[in-house]
Homo-oligomer: A and B are copies of this chain.
Amino acid sequence: MPSVEIVAIGTELLLGQLVDTNTPHIASSLAAAGLDVYATHAAGDNRERIAAAMRAALQRADGVITSGGLGPTVDDLTKEAACDALGVQLEMHEPSLAAMKERFASLGFEMRENNVKQALMPRGAFVLPNPHGSAPGYIAVGRDGKFIASMPGVPREMKPMLADSVIPWLRQRFVLGAAIYTRILHTAGIAESEIDHRIDDLFRAMENPKIGVLAHDFRCDVKIMAKAQSQEEAQRLIAPVEHEIVKRLGGHIYGVDDLTLPGAVHVLLQRMHHTVAVAESCTGGRVAAALTSVPGSSQSFLGGVVAYDNSVKTRTLGVREQTLQRFGAVSEETALEMARGVRERLGTDYGISTTGVAGPSGGTPEKPVGLVWFAVCGNGVEKTLQRTMPPGDRDSIQARATVAALTLLWKQLSR
């Protein structure tokens, strides 16, 4: 498999002022195309250091792919460094200069002198058009056949250039064979250790496809990664493994690939032509926000009440004063009356609620920070759930409680 290294360029990366999302995007695109990424790097806006990073990478790999440093300012030095690394000269690329002039004229902007710099290219380079910005990219090949491909750092300029120019060029050059195809099974309501326990033998035994478990957003994904010559071959490799995993993880898989947990909730609601409303205390609107993040969610999500203050719980949701006094706002009884209240008052099929202690203050020995009660009602069933979130800040407690609420609703709908 041909190998490449990725170099992200920009001093802001070394100062930690920017999270580099270009490198993971390039890496996953290359893996999907069947290239092996050996290592990735970030270098500052310094000609010698960029050139040194390129040279070192070219010793190990077949090529280097860079993002950033193609702009018009004196700090933009990627092309100069690539020329140093490959031992060629920069020269004016007339078609790029003409295209740039045209672009500026059509936008009604004046082209400044420093923009001319963006049309300079390593001699002999294959120039990559940039329909989304002023800096073209390029692929330059050295005497040893190794290449440097450079793209702009702006993600919306880089991404189409990668997909439309760089990947097709790589496919031609290397007649790429096996690529990596990934199938993601999303789980909810099952711990990573329990997944490990159930599929550990597969995890150890399988080579192609490989299986991985990735915990994130307080849920776990199981990834099945097949190396194959085609989508069809990958499908043949993945299908039996997927079947086995689905069998073992039973009702805990809510969907595959791009489906989100709120998306899965909407799929079930829309299939049944049912609606839901949300009553939130400690999650403060996050469950509603998650449900309305899904396009078309207005078909099944009618609305919600953020009942932060107890007065809102009683007045807007109809929670009884005596329930609050006797059991407290963070209690099974209050959660249940909140879910019933929002369902009744908004006239939906289902109601779901959260009430808990998000912290950092407000905890007691009996009801510590992280304790949350949930309730769901509808379709003739009422269910409550108590969970104590592991230690964390307010944000992580609210985020975990939101996933737990969506999981409870999804489980109720998928019974």
Residues of A in contact with B (beta carbons under 8 Å apart): 12-21, 23-31, 37-44, 49, 53, 56, 156, 180, 212, 214, 223, 277-278, 280, 283-289, 291-293, 295-298, 301-309, 311-312, 315-316, 345-347, 358-361, 392, 394-395, 398
Q: Contact at B295–A360, with CB atoms within 8 Å?
A: yes
Please tell me which one of the listed residues B38, B284, B361, B392 contacts residue A292 in the complex, with CB atoms under 8 A apart: B284
Chain B residues closer than 8 Å to A18, beta-carbon distance: 24, 214
Q: Contact at A284–B295, with CB atoms within 8 Å?
A: no
Determine how close the nearest CB of chain B comes to the CB of A68; give it in whole angstroms: 13
Determine how close the nearest CB of chain B comes to the CB of A287; give it in whole angstroms: 7
Q: Contact at B12–A16, with CB atoms within 8 Å?
A: no
Chain B residues closer than 8 Å to A30, beta-carbon distance: 16
Q: Contact at A14–B42, with CB atoms within 8 Å?
A: no
Chain A interface, >50% SS class: mixed
Determine how close the nearest CB of chain B comes to the CB of A58; give it in whole angstroms: 14
Q: Contact at B303–A309, with CB atoms within 8 Å?
A: yes
Please name the residue on chain B nearest to A156 by beta carbon.
Answer: B392
Of all A-B residue pairs in the complex, the 9 with the closest CB atoms, nearest first, are A284-B292, A16-B28, A285-B288, A16-B27, A285-B285, A303-B312, A285-B289, A16-B24, A304-B306
* In the complex with contacts A12-B214, A292-B285, A346-B315 CB distance below 8 A: yes
* Cα–Cα distance between A38 and B15 once the two chains are bound (Å): 10
Chain B residues closer than 8 Å to A28, beta-carbon distance: 15-17
* Cα–Cα distance between A316 and B347 once the two chains are bound (Å): 11
Q: Contact at B40–A295, with CB atoms within 8 Å?
A: no
Q: Contact at A303–B307, with CB atoms within 8 Å?
A: yes
